[in-house]
Amino acid sequence: MKKAIQDLYPDSLAHCYGCGRNNPAGHQLKTYLDGEQTIANFLPGEQYTALPGSVYGGLVASLLDCHGTGSAAAFVCQAESIPMTEAPIPVRCVTASLTVDFKAPVPMGKELTLTGKLISIEGRKIRVAMELSAGDALCATGEILAIRLREA
């Protein structure tokens, strides 16, 4: 069974509120590599309201941030033929910059799908383009510049 990239991070670097398996209070987002892209799914709880009926932008940004760093790590593993089978992998990325463009209100009560595509890897800098959709509706796009940590 394919593993989520966040389940392969070293234990000491797996406490992120958004995606760390070692943070029981957090969202525990899971990003999977699927061919040339990454994918994650998430169903927001009702408390994450913006205007009534829609999901607040902060959660959208949070999901894109964690999916972005996870995607960056996955694409590095793919590029360097690092097996994504068992923790710990020697790759962990953090965010240098994140841009989110909100295209449509994110409906509450629907499972969201995030995808990621590699733009570039230049040394320790990885750029990933992302989309966040609810069913067929594209709700937000994002781009991340992630930095690979020197020691992971």
Closest among 115, 110, 108, 123 to 143, alpha carbons compared: 115
| Phi, psi angle pair for 66, to nearest 5° | -70, -40
Give whichever of 97 and 120 is closer to its own copies, judged by the CB atom. Answer: 97
Binding site for its own copies (CB under 8 A): 12-13, 15-18, 20, 23, 25-26, 47-52, 56-59, 61-63, 65-66, 94-102
- Distance CA(67)–CA(23), nearest Å, equals 16
Give whichever of 78 and 95 is closer to its own copies, judged by the CB atom. Answer: 95
Longest dimension (CA), the chain: 45
Quote the least distance from Cβ 35 to its own copies, whole Å.
27
Quote the least distance from Cβ 52 to its own copies, whole Å.
6
Q: Where are the beta strands (DSSP E) in the chain?
A: 32-34, 37-42, 93-102, 112-122, 125-134, 137-148
Give whichever of 54 and 115 is closer to its own copies, judged by the CB atom. Answer: 54
Quote the least distance from Cβ 3 to its own copies, whole Å.
21
Quote the least distance from Cβ 54 to its own copies, whole Å.
9
